[in-house]
Amino acid sequence: MGALTGTIRVPGDKSISHRSLMFGALAIGETKISGLLEGHDVIATADALRAMGATITRKAEGEWSVYGVGVGGLLQPTQALDMGNSGTSTRLLMGLVASHAITATFIGDASLSGRPMGRVMEPLGQMGASFQPSAASNGGGTLPLMMTGLQPAVPIEYRLPVASAQVKSAVLLAGLNTPGMTTVIEPVPTRDHSERMLKGFGADLTVEEETGERIIRIRGDAELSPQTIIVPSDPSSAAFFIVAALLVEGSDLTIENVGLNTTRAGLITVLQQMGGRIDLLNEREVGGEPVADLRVRHSALTGIKVDPAIAPSMIDEFPVLFVAASLAKGRTVTSGLDELRVKESDRLSAMAAALTLAGAKVEESEDGLVIDGTGGELLRGTAAPVTTHLDHRIAMSMAIAGLVSTNGVEVDDTRPISTSFPIFEELLASASNG
């Protein structure tokens, strides 16, 4: 493939797509959504909400209509809710179920069934939800899992022990249908799509900063009003094309309508610190979310020590940052990335192994990677397939590594890419052909 040129638009933001369906399902009336990401993860959310009473219809590509049941109106599902590979769907929907008098069984694929759910079960249990793990659920902390909500649930004040937008959102969603005030204390800021969008739907939600912490309060027995939502392009999907354009000689690529929420834009900051030429054009706000068009040009990158404080704002982008670091001049050091060990795969060990196989110099530490870059020289490439562990971000990151390798990179399975980015390969081919 050649240089990446021209103008592209990546699919809609996955986090916002999930939430627009969920909040629409809790409003009374029709919520109209355009730009919805139609990957497997988001479809799993739509299917689960349908099973609990919402009417959700696809009108055209990316155009969806949701008729909600109202806060407190979710119905008992008649079968298990299959979450596929989606941790976001599972954890946020557990929050919704927690304050309804219904019982739901959550199941998922092999990868999702290995991911920890205890971090969500803890606060939801304090609110009154009960959990019945199956024999296959690893002592109760993973799927398959049956949960029963409590209505009315108990409002709580909960301090997040780990930086997790999913845990925060699960508690806030449970709080929607809980009389009184539910409070989440966030020592480290995480993506705030739930807070922005809940306010937009009419929830009584406040966010205050106190001694460096975010205090988020939501008043229960809420009434949500239907909205018209335009989903911005997903910065986590744009990340692969940003890195590809920085690394592939001769590239000059514009990526349209990318969401630049400050809790998500850490990768751009880090790549600019490394010398990446990324210009923000036509900055604007759409539906309460900041967006811009990104012009990205081939750049000589230099390794840096990445500030661990920025990790929550780019946690999903580290796999592809590791690829960029592999071709930078000098050493890149990352730390504070314990969360990467409990994603769809252990992304630290998976990327260390994959990049080493492709010829990069990588050392794995307990909470990060240390990478000595080639200074712009191409990687060797792989002689055997990279193990992706059914993780879409490993597969896509190594596809980008393949663009800057002599022999190419082979991955063992590209099918998981469709969970978040169904048109990834097609879009990559079109950008490379200018």
In angstroms, the CA 31 to CA 229 distance is: 8
Q: What backbone torsions phi and psi does residue 265 show, to the nearest 5 degrees?
A: -95, 20
Beta bridge partners of 106: 81, 145
Q: Which of 323, 343, 348 is nearest to 390 (CA)?
A: 343
Integer Cα distance of 203 and 307 in angstroms:
35
| Beta bridge partner(s), residue 293 | 281
Residue 47 annotated among the catalytic residues of the structure:
no
* Dihedral angle sign, alpha carbons of residues 127, 133, 137, 138: positive
Looking up tokens 């205050």 gives: 208
The answer to whether 342 and 419 have CB atoms below 8 angstroms apart is no
The 3-state DSSP class for residue 420 equals coil
What single-letter amino acid sits at 109?
D
300-327 as b/e: b if 16+ CB within 10 A = ebbbbebeeebbbbbbbbbbbbbbbbbb
Strands in 30-34's sheet, in edge-to-edge order, are 55-60, 63-67, 30-34, 228-230
* Longest Cα separation, the chain: 61
Residue 204 three-state SS: coil
415, two tokens: 């099918």
Q: Strands 228-230 and 252-259: what pairing?
A: unpaired
Count of beta carbons in the 10 Å neighbourhood of residue 8:
18
Rounded Cα distance between 9 and 96, Å, is 32
144-to-78, 106, 112 alpha-carbon distances in Å: 16, 6, 10
SS3 assignment, position 175: helix
* Catalytic residue of the set 316, 367, 372, 412: 316
* H helix runs in 368-423, sequence order: 392-403
Q: What whole-number distance in Å separates Cα of residue 245 and Cα of residue 147?
A: 45
Query: What amino acid positions are annotated as catalytic residues?
Result: 316
